[in-house]
Amino acid sequence: MATRAAWSLGDMPDLEKYYIHIPDTKFEGAYYRAVDAIRNDNFRQAQDSIDLARELLDVELTTLANESYNRAY
């Protein structure tokens, strides 16, 4: 929550201070690492973080879709 607030306020030093506490195995962690990497012109790291965020989101959405499908039947 603090990370989102810092980003909304444009407070990039605080953004970095907070996002490092979010594991990069969580979508939000990978997402904010990508944002920070882009801000620092580190595009290779940004792409890696974006790819990881996509993978993490895919797993979560697939699980939710399967749960909804199973409930429907």
Residue 17 or 72, more confident: 17
Q: What are 5-61's pLDDT values in tens digits? A: 888 888 888 888 888 899 989 999 999 999 999 999 999 999 999 999 999 999 988
CA distance 64 to 37: 30
- Identify the CATH number of the domain in which residue 52 sits: 1.25.40
Local structure of residue 39 (DSSP, 8 states)? H
Angle of CA points 20, 59, 14, to nearest 5°:
15
Using 50, 70 and 90 to split pLDDT, how confident is the model at 72? low
CA distance 31 to 8: 14
Q: Which domain holds residue 59?
A: 2-72
Number of domains in the chain: 1
Using 50, 70 and 90 to split pLDDT, how confident is the model at 63? confident
Please report the pLDDT score of residue 40 as a whole number.
Answer: 94
